[in-house]
Amino acid sequence: MTEPIIVCRDVHKWYGHFEALRGVSMEVERGEVIVIFGPSGSGKSTFIRTINRLEEHQQGQIIVDGIELTYDVRNIAAVRSEIGMVFQQFNLFPHLSVLQNITLAPIWVRKWPKEKAEEVAFQLLRRVGIPEQARKYPGQLSGGQQQRVAIARALAMQPKIMLFDEPTSALDPEMIKEVLDVMIELATSGMTMLVITHEMGFARAVARRMFFFDEGLVVESGTPDEIFSTPKEERTKLFLSQILVH
Amino acid sequence: MWARQNLFGSWLNTLLTALSVGLVYLVARGSLPWLLSEAKWAVIGRNFGVIGWGRYPNDQAWRLGIGLALLLILGVFSWWAWRLPGQSPARRFVSVGWLVSPVILFLLLRGLTLPTPVTISNNLGYYLFRPEVLPLLEEDWRAIASLLIVGLLAGITWGLSPRRANRILAIVACLAILGLCLPLGLQAQQLGDQGLRVPRLVIMIPILGLGLLFGRSAGGSLVTLRAARCALLVAWPGTAAIVMVILTSFDVGVERVAPAEVLLKVEPPLWGGILLTLVLSTVSILFSFPIGVLLALGRRSRLPVVKAVSVLFIEIVRGVPLITILFMAQVMLPLFLPLEWTFDRVIRAMAGMTFFTAAYLAEIVRGGLQIVPHEQVEAARSLGLSELFVTGLVVLPQALRAVIPAIMGQFVSVFKDTSLVAIVGLLDLLGILQSIIKQREFLGTVREVYLFAGLFYFIISYGMSHASRRLEASLGVSDRF
């Protein structure tokens, strides 16, 4: 048994007097796909942002690929370059073309020559299905295309872990599938993924485990089968009934 | 058709058109006869040289022509290169051209002196073959100590860092110190009473080698310390200074040969007229921009000292009128600086204008920084970019693009504000013109002269704002956001 790639022990996070995370523990194996869901304000987004330290935790321990996240700045940049992140609002760089968005970090962080970075970028654009958009600017693309570029941008660093923070919530309904297809392909390729989403079809298809967050705590976790057919906690049942009602 | 639509579209339009025509007629009736027949434009033509370059020697004015021609060639070439598709090498060439052109132009205008082989050998000889030094055996310690120190540091650098740049630095430093000591080393030294004479180099090279070996083993044992590697950055310049002091003692005994004058020196106080106006505004614009960006970043810094200094500088400078700053630069600046640091009046005015502009630019850039959403910073961080790259590659480019119109507006106003240096006694375009109309010969030409000045400032300012709009369009500021 290899050691887990992410270990979180009793992670706490306060915003002033408000306790956003109240002791979250989680271990993620290499290649696992984890789906995190829960009501808004439950701390799920805060939690995955502590994994690449966009948020600092104040108590507890987070170890990513053997490196503990502390206040040491060198650690943080190194850890972040191994973790890709996809945001709800895409957050592409509007002043750079699609190609430049993807090659920026490989060129400046990995110090790849431009030719190599662009070659990898085109491979990734083909993988997410939009190689013809390479020279365009983010503002000229649809939401679904932008999110696929954002996934390609994160993958360009060849990360060991991918974090998805509600990747389809800001998309028009007809564009959700094209993004989910890319994510499913990524999941079956063996990438370690932590995905915040309420797309339960996606969860059923590829998630190995699911975590239900409420009020800064993991209320319940288990395989998709366990969560959907025999949820133990009342809050889980209530929430699932609310999002699966239609 | 056009006229009916645009001038007489409605009764209000018709009324406005009639009013405007009347106004134009009134202005034209008053000014046209004077412009065409009475005005004595000869005052401009006869003072062409003075207006153009002030007290810059007329027999050197060809240098201004060459400078202007260089700029024109560069301008036309970059206009051509900008139309080429994609990232052509021509564009890179143009960028480098614009970067080095200020230095070249400055040297062209001010004149330059270059060391010749004669002056180099003379100066080296002055340092190394001083007659009062050489015969003294005990003075050998200078070369020996320098070799030992440099060898030691080079060895430490070699042992500490596997980076090729550092190793090259170590080798170059060793060669340089050997070169410096070579003239001394070729001298023979008498050993003992038997009169055995050996070149001192025979003693010196082993000493350098000893330093290298010792330093390398010391460096090897320090290799785990990151602080030691940072200390190297300080150690090299420090050592260079120490070695210079050891080798020369900084005492002057023998006359040195001055370097050869390639282009006659024309110091800035002689620059005047349009030349001075353009130089003043260009220098202020070029230097204030990076300073302003740094101040804006400093103001947002989390380091309290950096932030406090930036805020203090910006607020003080913005709280004082430009005229006051110009007077302070002329009168007060020398009080703060050591006596030996004397700047001429033109340089002092440049410094004043630069700092003034930088403070205003800093606030403009800060406005731009504020509109870049924090999500952009997070996205950049999540890719593993260091804070320097996050700022330089993601935040600043977006912030600056957003404030191009405001920045260019500030540049245009700097250009016009250079006319204020006439008040502190510099002979820029306005200063020259004012002195011309005081001459008896040109009495009564006030209108012509000021009209000329107005026209000059207008043409350049309009050109600048036109360029700003072109820049915005080519960067796609409007359609990409």
Task: Give tens-digit pLDDT for A127-159.
Answer: 999 999 999 999 999 999 999 999 999 999 999
- The pLDDT assigned to A104 comes to 96
Q: Is the separation of the CB atoms in B301 and B373 below 8 Å?
A: no
Greatest mean pLDDT range, A8-17, B234-243, B443-452: A8-17
Element (H, E) at B39: none
CATH number at residue B328: 1.10.3720.10
B384, B393, B401 member nearest A81 (Cβ):
B384
Residue B186 has pLDDT above 70, yes or no: no
Which of B213, B243, B263 is a domain's end point?
Answer: B263
ipTM: 0.93
Residues B279 and B250 in one domain: no
N-to-C CA span, chain B: 38
Mean pLDDT along residues A38-48: 93
Q: Which of B242, B263, B284 is the last residue of a domain?
A: B263
For residues B17 and A138, give the distance between their C-alpha atoms in angstroms, rounded to a whole number: 46
φ, ψ of residue B263 to 5 degrees: the values are: -120, 135
- Please give the average per-residue pLDDT across B71-82, as a whole number: 85
Residue B250 has pLDDT above 50, yes or no: no
Give the pLDDT score at B118: 55
Band (B191; pLDDT cuts 50, 70, 90): low
Interchain contact, A104 vs B383, CB within 8 Å: yes
My answer on whether B226 and B320 are in the same domain is no
Residues of B in contact with A50 (CB under 8 A): none
Judgement on whether residues B331 and B287 belong to the same structural domain of the protein: yes
B474 pLDDT more than 80: no
Same domain for B220 and B276, yes or no, is no
Interface contact flag, A52 B382, Cβ < 8 Å: yes
What is the share, in percent, of chain A residues with pLDDT greater than 70? 98
- Cβ atoms of A2 and A29 closer than 8 Å: yes
Q: Does A118 touch chain B (CB under 8 A)?
A: no
Which residues, including other chains, have CB under 8 Å from residue B380's CB and lie 6 or more apart?
A: A93, B389, B390, B393, B394, B395
Task: Flag whether pLDDT at B136 surpasses 60.
Answer: no
Average pLDDT of chain A, as a whole number: 92
Contact (CB, 8 A) for B277 and B418: yes
Cβ pair B428, B419 in contact under 8 A: yes
The overall average pLDDT reported for chain B is 81
A93–B398 C-beta distance less than 8 A: yes
β-partners of residue A61 are: A9
Residue A128 burial (CB count, 10 A): 23
* Lowest mean pLDDT segment, chosen from B56-70, B147-161, B348-362: B147-161
- Domain assignment present for residue B83? The answer is no
What is the torsion angle, in degrees rounded to the nearest 10, for the CA atoms of residue B447, residue B450, residue B456 and residue B462? -90
Minimal Cα distance from B393: which residue of A? A104
What confidence tens digit (pLDDT) does each residue in A55-112 have?
999 999 999 988 888 887 677 888 899 999 999 999 999 999 999 999 999 999 999 9
Tell me the pLDDT band of B252, cut-offs 50, 70 and 90: very low
Share of chain B above pLDDT 70, in %: 81
The answer to the question of residue B76 being in a domain is no
Q: How wide is the angle at C-alpha B448 spanned by C-alphas B456 and B109, nearest 5°?
A: 40
More confident: B317 or B131 = B317
Whole-number pLDDT of residue B224: 64
For residue A162, what is the nearest residue in chain B, using CA coordinates? B382
Identify the pLDDT of residue B122: 60
B413-to-B406, B409, B440, B457 alpha-carbon distances in Å? 11, 6, 33, 10
Residues B359 and B452 in one domain: yes
pLDDT surpasses 70 at B441: yes
Q: For residue B261, give the 3-state DSSP assignment.
A: strand
**Residue B49 domain flag:** no
Same domain, B376 and B397: yes
For residues B360 and B318, is the Cβ–Cβ distance under 8 A? yes
Q: Tokens standing for A146?
A: 């932008």
Which of A103-117, B47-61, B184-198 shows the lowest mean pLDDT across its residues? Answer: B184-198
Beta strand A209-214 with A192-196: parallel, antiparallel or unpaired?
unpaired
For A24, which DSSP code?
E
Among residues B238, B263, B288, which one ends one of the domains?
Answer: B263
Distance CA B307, CA B450 (A): 44
Higher-confidence residue: A1 or B330?
B330
Place of tokens 């700053």: B325
Residues B330 and B282 in one domain: yes
Return the ∠ at Cα B257 (arms to B251 and B258), rounded to 5°: 100
Whether the model clears a pTM of 0.80, i.e. scores above it, the answer is no
Confidence of residue B184 (pLDDT cuts 50, 70, 90): low
**pLDDT tops 50 at residue B26:** yes
3-class DSSP assignment, residue A202: helix
How many domains would you assign to chain B?
2
Question: Strand A209-214 and strand B188-191: pairing?
Answer: unpaired
- Count other Cβ atoms within 10 Å, centred on residue B127: 18
Contact A80, B383 (CB under 8 A): yes
pLDDT at residue B394 tops 50: yes
The residue behind tokens 């990513």 is: A64
Within a domain: B13: no
For residue B481, the model assigns a pLDDT of: 46
Residue B183: inside a domain: yes
User: Whole-angstrom distance between the N-terminal and C-terminal Cα of chain A?
Assistant: 41
Closest to A208 in 3D by CA, of A193, A224, A190, A185? A224
> Does residue B120 share a domain with residue B249?
yes
Residues 48-67 of A with CB under 8 A from B: 52, 54
The answer to whether residues B177 and B206 belong to one domain is yes
Q: Measured between CB atoms, does A15 come within 8 Å of chain B?
A: no
Residue type, B243: V
Check if A78 contacts B (Cβ < 8 Å). Answer: yes
For position A220, what pLDDT does the model report?
A: 93
On the question of pLDDT at B270 being above 90, the answer is: no
pLDDT at site A141: 93
- Ranked by mean pLDDT, the top range of B111-120, B173-182, B240-249 is B173-182
Average pLDDT of the segment spanning B128-154: 64
**B256 against A174, higher pLDDT:** A174
B12 Rama sector, left if φ>0, alpha if ψ -120 to 50, beta otherwise: alpha
Q: Does residue B324 sit within a domain? A: yes
In a domain, B161, yes or no: yes
- A 88-107 near B (Cβ less than 8 A): 89, 91-95, 104-105
pLDDT given at position A162: 96
Check: CB of residue A156 under 8 Å from CB of residue A117: yes
**What range does the domain containing B171 cover?**
112-263
Q: Does B78 touch chain A (CB under 8 A)?
A: no
The region of weakest confidence among A9-23, A38-52, A86-100, B321-335 is B321-335
Which of A39-43, A178-182, A223-227, B133-137 has the least mean pLDDT? B133-137
Model confidence at A204, in pLDDT bands (50, 70, 90)?
A: very high
Q: Residues B296, B246: one domain?
A: no
Return the minimum-mean-pLDDT range out of A44-53, B15-24, B67-76, B131-140: B131-140
Indicate whether B365 pLDDT > 80: yes
What percent of chain A stands above pLDDT 90? 86
Burial A59-88 (b: 16+ CB within 10 A, else e): ebebbbbeeebeeeeeebbebbbbbbbbbb
Across B443-471, average pLDDT: 89
Q: Please tell me which residue, B20 or A78, carries the higher pLDDT value.
A: B20
The average pLDDT across B364-388 equals 94
Does residue B397 belong to any structural domain of this protein? Answer: yes
Q: Encoding tokens for residue B418? A: 């250079």
* Nearest of A149, A218, A89, A162 to residue B382 by alpha carbon: A162
Better-predicted residue by pLDDT, A140 or B203: A140
Kindly tell me if the per-residue pLDDT of B139 is higher than 60.
no
> Mean per-residue pLDDT for A210-225?
93
Residues linked to residue A28 through DSSP beta bridges, in sequence order: A6
Residue B401, phi then psi, degrees to nearest 5:
-60, -40
DSSP single-letter state for residue B87: S
Q: What is the DSSP letter of A4?
A: P
The answer to whether residues B250 and B346 belong to one domain is no
Asked whether residue B324 falls in the same domain as residue B364, the answer is: yes
* Contact (Cβ atoms closer than 8 angstroms) between residue B130 and residue B254: yes
- pLDDT for B135 equals 43
* DSSP for A31-67, written as a single string: T-EEEEE--TTSSHHHHHHHHTTSS--SEEEEEETTE
Tell me which chain B residues have a C-beta less than 8 angstroms from the C-beta of A154.
382-383
Taking CA atoms, B403 is separated from A206, B365, B410, B464, in Å, by: 46, 7, 11, 15
Q: What is the pLDDT of residue B154?
A: 83
